Amino acid sequence: MKESYITTAIPYVNGNPHLGHAMDYLLADTLRRYMMYCGEKVRLQAGTDEHGNKIFKKAAEQGLPTQEFVDINAQKFQDFIHSLGVEYTDFIRTTSPDHERRCREIWTRLSDHIYKDKYEGWYCEGCESYVTSKEHDNNHGECPDHKKPYVKLSEENYYLRIADFKDDIRSAIESDELKITPSFRKKEFLNLLKDMPDVSISRPKEQVEWGVSVPGDDSQVMYVWIDALANYITVLGFPDKDISEDWPAHTQIVGKDILRFHAGIWPAMLIGLGLPLPRNLLAHGFITVNGEKMSKTVGNVIAPEDILAKHGLAAFRYFFLRHASTTDDADFTWDKYEASYNELANDLGNLVQRLATLCEKNAVVGQKVEQRANPDFDDHMKKYEFNIAFDILWDGISELNKRIDLEKPWALAKTHPDKARDVLIKLVIDLLAINNRLKLFLPETGERIETIFTATKIQPPATPLFPKA
Ligand code: MSP
């Protein structure tokens, strides 16, 4: 069976993992679990983007050799991913010798589309990227993301001739051969593509020391984006190995800010290499805190560890997968988080506790998990509306709560114990069927629920699933 391949953006390792990164991982993990649930074999890549000036400077600030610094931070990201209950199959680090060698080979294979030229323009050191004069003027000379003035740079660079690929990229995106979700971002990007100039893909070594050298020109290192984008195929072994088992990717997941690199430069590289384009690009929104962009300068960054420590992993996944839209921005506040946790505890935690207690009292034994079709759910999952698919499951949970209240099996047990047992058995079977999909979002909780209600003897958990703090 061919594998389906899902990718996540590889974060820069100059800082700690944050909520934005968590979003990439949670969405990828949910998609992976869903595709496996549908019977597919899935490969999920994660990794770290370890080159470039920001990282080089940060290591120097901390008085660490750069490699040591990135080693420490790459480990932090791996630990972080595990702490989210996310399972990847491959982890790529851009400083690994295999990646660097493969990157150079990729460059060489693209050389028909690469030329050297002098460049002068506005550059953001935070983004490690040039901006157009229009962007510079619109932003009044300052990067809105990094709150730093753009600097004028002039240098010799290698360029990737985007013009060679523009028509192919446009038609692939327009026809959804490379499908961008959400569709408003597709429109946005197609507009941007019109004026997309050739991209500079190297930096003089005096400016950026920490990077992959350009083949045949030791005075230049590769621009961090070329090196970073290549990760999606170097991790599969390209060009040493035939990657057709996994490539093209089924879905590449990125934040909205980096969609343009993935919809522009990346397809250009792929076409230049004679490789097919990924089938889907999913751009998620940004997580804000109290309505504001997270920023160290503003001092409003909330560490994911603090949120995880509050009510555990299920509460974290529940909030960010149900109350954050898959494709739009979402806001985190502690109040919203508490409300979300209470909902989880009241709707699902109580249901499990109540139903298991009633089953125990009425000697109802564990049931089998029924596979049921849910076309509405599938439809939303396939459209990358994971939060709406999650809502559908939650409607099912609320329905079960209502049924218990209405059918009052505890009262029925006094007069018609057989009927009470039948009511409870139906409730258990229905809960297990919903839970089978709930597991995609809340794997740990789903496993616990399945264990409770499939056991020979149903018993409520010794500690409730979601204890009141
Ligand atoms: N290194 C590049 C990606 C290279 S992929 C070939 C990069 N790194 S990053 O650390 O800045 O961002 C990693 C991911 O986190 C991106 O998908 C980015 O969009 C996402 N997020 C960063 N901040 C975010 C939020 N506040 N909210 C949601 N996601 C955001 O870009």
User: Over the stretch 117-174, which tens digit does the pLDDT of each residue have?
Assistant: 998 889 898 887 788 899 999 999 999 988 999 999 888 889 999 999 999 999 999 9
**Is 113 a residue of the active site?**
no
What is the whole-number distance in angstroms between the Cα of residue 132 and the centre of ligand 1?
Answer: 21
Who has greater pLDDT, 298 or 243? 243
In the chain, % of residues over pLDDT 90? 90
Task: Return the ligand 1 atom nearest residue 229 CA.
Answer: 6
Using the predicted structure, report yes or no on whether residue 443 has a pLDDT greater than 90.
Answer: yes
Question: What are the backbone dihedrals phi and psi of residue 408, each rounded to the nearest 5 degrees, phi first?
Answer: 40, 65
Using the predicted structure, report yes or no on whether residue 298 has a pLDDT greater than 90.
Answer: no
SS3 69: helix
**Is 359 a residue of the active site?**
no
d(CA 293, CA 289): 6
Tens digit of pLDDT for each residue in 452-464? 999 999 999 999 9
DSSP letter (8 states) at residue 111: G
Residue-level pLDDT at 405:
97
Residues 99-125, mean pLDDT to the nearest whole number? 95
> Measuring from atom 6 of ligand 1, which residue has the nearest CA?
229
Mean pLDDT over each residue of the chain, to the nearest integer: 96
Using the predicted structure, report yes or no on whether residue 1 has a pLDDT greater than 80.
Answer: no
Using the predicted structure, report yes or no on whether residue 207 has a pLDDT greater than 90.
Answer: no
pLDDT level of residue 178 (50, 70, 90 thresholds): very high
- With 0.85 as the threshold, say if the pTM is over it: yes
Residues 38-50, mean pLDDT to the nearest whole number? 98
Lowest mean pLDDT among 40-44, 54-58, 443-447: 54-58
The pair of structure tokens assigned to 268 is 């250009």
What is the whole-number distance in angstroms between the Cα of residue 11 and the centre of ligand 1?
Answer: 6
| Range 163-171, long-range pairs (CB < 8 A, 24+ positions) | 163/198, 164/113, 164/268, 164/272, 165/113, 165/267, 165/268, 165/271, 165/272, 166/193, 166/196, 168/267, 168/271, 169/193, 169/263, 169/264, 169/267, 169/268, 169/271
Give the pairing of strands 148-149 and 330-332. unpaired
Residues 348-352, mean pLDDT to the nearest whole number? 98
pLDDT level of residue 296 (50, 70, 90 thresholds): confident
Task: Return the ligand 1 atom nearest residue 15 CA.
Answer: 10
**Is 38 a residue of the active site?**
no
Q: Which fold has domain 334-454?
A: Isoleucyl-tRNA Synthetase; Domain 1 (1.10.730)
Given the residues 51, 143, 179, 262, select the one marked as catalytic: 143
Using the predicted structure, report yes or no on whether residue 325 has a pLDDT greater than 90.
Answer: yes
Using the predicted structure, report yes or no on whether residue 19 has a pLDDT greater than 90.
Answer: yes
Given the residues 127, 205, 383, 426, select the one marked as catalytic: 127
Using the predicted structure, report yes or no on whether residue 92 has a pLDDT greater than 80.
Answer: yes
Lining residues, ligand 1, CB within 6 Å: 9-12, 20-21, 23-24, 49, 228-229, 231, 254-255, 257-258, 286-287, 294
d(CA 4, CA 20): 24
Tens digit of pLDDT for each residue in 208-249? 889 999 999 999 999 889 999 999 999 999 999 999 999 999
